Structure 1
Amino acid sequence: MAKVSMSLCTDLTAATWITKDPAPWHKLATLGPSGLPAYARLLFLPDPTHLGHSENDAPERDDGRSETDLLRAASTHLTPHTTTPEDCYFLLWDGWGLHPSPPAGDQHRSGALSSKPVRLTRDAPPLPAPPAAFQPGVQPGVHPDARRPETGGLLVRLPERDYYLFRGTVTDLGDWGPDLPTTPSGWAPDPAFTWPADHAWCITRDVDPHYATIAASRPAITALLRDPHLDVLPTDPHQPQPYYL
C-alpha cells in the first residue's frame, strides 16, 4: 500500500493536550507537556560551559548528521513505547512562514489521514538552508498576524507561539510531504511538537534552545540514554536549563 503523506488537520482537538497544559508557555514550548514520568534533553550542541557562552563559539557537530537526523534516530527508540506509532501528531511553528491552505470539503475535518495532498503556500522570502548545528536566525514569538484570512482559523495557539497541526505516522517526522515549500537545498523545518495519539511521549523542539526535550516513560528514556550515537542527558523539568546567548 502506498505511503500516506502527513496531512493537515482542521479539527484541532488533538492539540488541547498541549494548549491546556498548566505550565508557563516558555516552559511548555521548550520542555514539553507536564506530568510524564521522565524527561531528557537530546543535544544538538554541547551544553554551554559558562555564563554568557555564545552559540557562535560552540563547537560544531562533526558527524555529518542534521538535527532532523538526530530527531529521527531518537524517535526509533520511542516507537516501541507507544501503542499508536501509526497515529501521531505534529505541530509546525507558524513563524517559519509556511502557511497551509485550508483543504476543500471535509476530508480533514476530523484530522483523519488522507492521500490527498495539502497545498502549502509561502508568504515570506525563502529561508536560507541552515548549518547542521543550528536553525536559521529567526525571532521567537514574532510571526504573521494569526487573524489573517489565509490561515482559515487553523492555528493552534500558545501565548507566544502559533502552530499548524498535522497528522501522520511516527516515521513521517521530518517529511512534511511533496507540497511543502522548501529552500532550494530542500531544507524544511522540524516539528515543534511530536506525539503519538496515546500521549505515551512527546518530542519538543523549540526554535531557541540547542536541544530537543523528550518526555516519556522511564524505559523509553533509558533506551535513549543507552544509545552511544546520541547525546542525551536526563533532565529535571523543574530546574532551569542551560542556554547559550
Structure 2
Amino acid sequence: MATPTPDATPGFWLRDALDPEGHTVAGFVPAGYPFYARILNPVGVEGFGSEPRRLAWSEAAASVGAPVYPWMQWHETVLAADGALPREWTSPAMGDLDQVRARALAEVLEQHTRTPEECFFAQWDGYAPVTGNNGVVTFPPDREMKILAGPLSDGAQPTGNSGTPVNSGMEHPSGAHGGRRPLYWWPQDRAWCMGQDIYARSVLLGVSGPCLKDLFAHPDLDIFSVRLSDAVYPEDD
C-alpha cells in the first residue's frame, strides 16, 4: 500500500522539473519525454436503481455536436447541447481520475517501467482524507503536495486516512466516496510521469512511443496527443 513519506526528497525532482508558471503541459509533466497525452474523464450516466455508467467524454460531445479535439472543454459540450443535455448525464470528475480510467492507466503504465513496485505519488494537501506524517513539496501553480510511495497499483485507489488507499468498491465515477486518487504518479525510474490539477477533468502524461501506442490501444482510455507547450486552462466551469 502507498504510505506517507516524511522525507519529501522524491518530490524534489518533479517540482524542479515542472515549469513554475504552471500554464502549459510543462507545468504538470516534465520536459524530456518523447510524447505527451491527455486522458479525459468520462461522463457519468445515472440510472434509477442502478450504479452509474460511463460514457466517453468524446462520444458524449460528438453526440450533441460539440467539437471533439485534444483540448475540448466540458462547457463546450454543455453549450453545444443548447439546453438539451441529457438529464441523466453528470459532468466528468474534477481533480480526480475516474476509477475505471485509473485502473486502465495503471495496467498500461506498469508495462512501461522497470520499477512498477517502486512508485511515488503526490496528493494535494487540501484534500482532507490525506493525513499523516507526509513530506510536503510545493508544485506549480502553488499547490502544496503530500508525497506517498508504493506500488503503481496504489495510484488507482482513492487515498483514505493517513494517505493510504481505501477499498471504496463501485463509486460514482468521481471516486469521491473514499477520497481521491493522487494527482501525480511517477515510477522510481521516471520512465513516464502523470499529472493533473485540482481543477482538471483530465490527466496529462509524458511517455515513450511504445507506451503511447499502448495507451491509445486500450479501450477504456479516452486519449488525445498533446504538445508540451500547449496551454492548460482550469476546467471548473
Residues of 1 paired with 2:199 and 2:206: CA distance?
18
The correspondence of residues 1-245 of structure 1 with structure 2, limited to 5 A, is 5-26=1-22, 27=24, 31-45=28-42, 46=57, 49=66, 54=75, 57=78, 60=89, 67-102=98-133, 154-158=135-139, 159-173=141-155, 174-176=157-159, 186-241=177-232, 244=235, 245=237
Q: TM-score, normalised by structure 1?
A: 0.65
Residues of 2 paired with 1:201 and 1:14: CA distance?
15
Q: Is the 8 A contact 1:30 1:204 kept in 2?
A: no
* Partner amino acid, structure 2, of 1:220: C
Residues of 2 paired with 1:208 and 1:95: CA distance?
13
Which structure has more relative contact order (CA 8 Å, sep 6+)? It is: 1
Change (3 A) 1:189 1:177: closer
* Partner amino acid, structure 2, of 1:176: T
Change (3 A) 1:19 1:178: closer
Q: Higher helix share goes to which structure?
A: 2
Change (3 A) 1:93 1:212: same
- Residues 27-79 of structure 1 deviation map (CA, whole Å, 9 limit, x = unaligned): 368641221111111111536746986278287479xxx71220221121111
Amino-acid identity (%): 24
Change (3 A) 1:53 1:89: closer
Indicate the SS of the match to 2:104: helix
Residues of 2 paired with 1:186 and 1:209: CA distance?
19
Aligned residues: 188
Q: TM-score, normalised by structure 2?
A: 0.67
Q: Give the gaps of 5 or more residues in structure 1.
A: 103-150
Residues of 2 paired with 1:156 and 1:241: CA distance?
21
Change (3 A) 1:37 1:99: same
Q: Higher strand share goes to which structure?
A: 2
For the aligned residue pairs, the C-alpha RMSD in angstroms reads 3.4
